[in-house]
Amino acid sequence: MLVIFHPDATSAEIDAVTERILATGAGAQRVIGAEQTVIGVIDADRDHITSLELDADPGVDRVVPVSSPYKLAHKHRHGDQAHAVDVAGVAFGGPDAAFRLILGPCAVESADQTLTAARACADAGADLLRGGAFKPRTSPYAFQGLGLEGLKILADARAETGLPIVTELTDLRDVETVVQYADCIQIGARNMQHFPLLTEIGRAGLPVLLKRGMGASIDDFLLAAEYILTEGNQSVILCERGIHAKATPARSCLDLAAVTVLKEHTHLPVIVDPSHAAGRRALVEPLALAAAACGADGLIVECHPDPRNARCDGPQAITLDALPGFVARVRAVAGVATGALA
């Protein structure tokens, strides 16, 4: 962090700011230029220094951060190289990883519904199977998932199809149970800043699919990932799923610029959820193709055997008969984008 003073700042004002910095335990390196004085803050507690509001002190022109608040998630941590995350033998991201597709129903509703969807996903070329056993819903009266029964159904689907499972964890009390069944734990947008939950799944050691909160900045998102990384779990996949915007005709505004920006700043793989951004089936494929074109490492997409009667998010679920064509078109665009962006 740099503290830059006005050209007419007095020595007393500069000394006063210096003393405030040193009182936090940080170092203060003063550089006296021809017109302005600058203090470089060294080995600082960023949050503590920020809380001092030094830019309001007499003589201070502005305060400029020069380092990232997220240390482990930053690309420089890995020599500017993309990092591959392995989920039960399926690699996401990294310099040589293929474009990945996570397909499946929003919620596990029954054994027949889930196994039918899982078979279709496997036949269409899915890499992983998604399905919610625990569902955080806006309304307390909405379907909340089958819980443990749903996890057992997902395990049966994995045994039959060979597809690793991604399923959502919503409650600290369910960590141990979900870890027993899942290959990858999803943290949804509503729980992106549930810091005790992030800490616990960091300790659990399974790969984590972390979705961006609907009002979260890029820094917020990466700092949430940092909670997982600081516990020693380096297997984090980031997911852009749309942000709040009143002007969009879709459910959410899919922020595809975030894919590029995240790849500029972090080594972690980045995928996109076009289903939740779209909110309706007709928009899912166009958004998916756009995500593939802009360099995402993969997609997580919802499908259902009978979307009209789905208990959760049926209007955005792709029909099973449409899956093969959808997968082929998305993979084709991803292949072109890989060559163009290489």
CA angle in degrees (0–180, nearest 5) for 329-335-340: 125
Per-chain mean pLDDT for the chain: 92
pLDDT-derived band at 74 (thresholds 50, 70, 90) equals confident
Return d(Cα 183, Cα 165) in angstroms, integer. Answer: 5
Closest by CA position to 208, among listed 186, 191, 188, 230: 186
pLDDT-derived band at 79 (thresholds 50, 70, 90) equals low
The enclosing H or E element of 39 equals strand 37-42
Q: What is the pLDDT of residues 166-200, one digit of tens each?
A: 999 999 999 999 999 999 999 999 999 999 999 99
- Note the pLDDT of residue 201: 95
Closest by CA position to 295, among listed 264, 338, 331: 338
pLDDT (mean) for 75-104: 88
Asked if the model's pLDDT at residue 67 lies above 80, the reply is no
- Backbone φ and ψ for 206, nearest 5 degrees, come out as -75, 155
- Note the pLDDT of residue 10: 94
CA angle in degrees (0–180, nearest 5) for 85-88-92: 30
pLDDT-derived band at 341 (thresholds 50, 70, 90) equals low
The SS3 assignment for 264 reads helix
Cβ neighbours for 164, distance < 8 A, ≥ 6 positions apart: 87, 88, 89, 90, 127, 128, 129, 158, 183, 184
pLDDT-derived band at 78 (thresholds 50, 70, 90) equals low
Length of the chain: 342
Asked if the model's pLDDT at residue 342 lies above 60, the reply is no
Higher pLDDT, 173 or 82: 173
pLDDT-derived band at 105 (thresholds 50, 70, 90) equals very high
Return d(Cα 6, Cα 128) in angstroms, integer. Answer: 56
CA angle in degrees (0–180, nearest 5) for 16-20-22: 115
> Where exactly are the structural domains of the chain?
2-64, 75-341
User: What tokens does 334 get?
Assistant: 């991803």
Query: What residues form DSSP beta bridges with 74?
Result: 266
Percentage of the chain modeled with pLDDT above 90: 77
Q: 3.40.50.280, 3.20.20.70, 3.40.605.10, 2.30.110.10: which CATH number matches 75-341?
A: 3.20.20.70
pLDDT (mean) for 273-278: 94
- Note the pLDDT of residue 66: 67
Fold of 2-64: Alpha-Beta Plaits (3.30.70)
Q: What is the pTM of this model?
A: 0.85
Q: What is the pLDDT of residues 109-154, one digit of tens each?
A: 999 999 999 999 999 999 999 999 998 888 888 888 899 999 999 9
- Note the pLDDT of residue 305: 97
Q: Do 242 and 199 meet the contact criterion of CB atoms below 8 Å apart?
A: no
- Note the pLDDT of residue 35: 85
Return d(Cα 175, Cα 147) in angstroms, integer. Answer: 12
